[in-house]
Amino acid sequence: MDFARRGVMLVIASPSGAGKSSISRALFAQDPNIELSVSVTTRQRRTDELHGTHYWFIDEAEFARMRESGDLLESAEVHGNFYGTPRSKVEERLSAGKDILFDIDYQGTLQLYEKCRDDMVTVFILPPSIAELRARLERRAQDSSGTIEKRLRNALIEMEHYDEYDFVLVNEDLEQSVQMVRSILASARLARQRQTKLGGFVEDLKAQIAALG
């Protein structure tokens, strides 16, 4: 039986190149109930990225305006660029039972813990090795080598925060990692506090027993 329930805020974090984007893509492809929280960023758009799909690309003045007017649920500076999660729609989608995937860093995760811990389940993805992490960043080759070095150094900072996450997995095999994240999400969906219509169902079961006399 499938009861109406509140959505899950699923946070997936990792150093760049650990496979987070591939895992997220596979999750969306396999589960239509998951929606992506599209962040705003001041970073330059990469050639394969679409405005409004991967990010909302905005300038620093617009970012500052959004942050100051409380339009961002969390925000952080990563690799010298600003990123933030728009507040609009999050509550509405959760109430409608949609799960929302957040691809944000540890600074953003800590800010969300302060505001919405009960709605959140967080997963940290580790690369199997640094050699593999570098190879993935180089294969992606969307960044100059200077940026790759910067991302590797940033990986160190990001990895120091693995212990702030509910679940940690080493991404050796994409398909297996996707299955693991799907299992985490499946159990989060069953958490009692999210099953908002359960009370009525249990009352009905009890009434049926009472009616037996």
Chain contacts with ligand 5GP (rule: CB under 6 A) = 16, 39, 43, 74, 76, 78-79, 83-85, 103-105, 107-108
For residue 64, what are the CA distances in angstroms to 20, 38, 51, 206? Answer: 27, 17, 19, 54
Report the residue number, 147 or 196, with the smaller CB distance to ligand 5GP: 147
Nearest distance from C-beta of residue 107 to ligand 5GP, angstroms: 5
- Dist CA 83 CA 89 (whole Å): 18
CB of 206 to ligand 5GP, least distance (A): 45
- Residue with Cβ nearer ligand 5GP (108 or 194): 108
Closest CB to ligand 5GP belongs to which residue? 108
Rank residues 155 and 185 by Cβ distance to ligand 5GP and give the closer one. Answer: 155
Q: At 171, list the tokens.
A: 């991404």
Nearest Cα to Cα of residue 129 among 89, 93, 171, 101 = 171
In the bound complex, what is the minimum distance in angstroms from residue 74's beta carbon to ligand 5GP?
6
**CA-CA distance, 167 to 124, in Å (whole number)?**
6
Number of other CB atoms surrounding residue 110 within 10 Å: 13
Task: Select 5 or 7, whichever has its Cβ closest to ligand 5GP.
Answer: 7
Instruction: Please state the closest distance from residue 182 (CB atom) to ligand 5GP, in A.
Output: 20
Distances (CA, A) of 149 to 130, 133, 144: 12, 11, 9
Least Å distance, CB 157 to ligand 5GP, is 10
Which of residues 140 and 195 has its CB atom nearest to ligand 5GP in the complex?
140
Is 51 exposed, middle or buried (CB count within 10 Å of its CB: 0-12, 13-18, 19+)? exposed
Beta-strand pair 9-13/120-126: parallel
Amino acid at 193: Q
> C-beta of 31: minimal distance to ligand 5GP in Å?
20
Closer residue to ligand 5GP in complex, CB, 135/205: 135
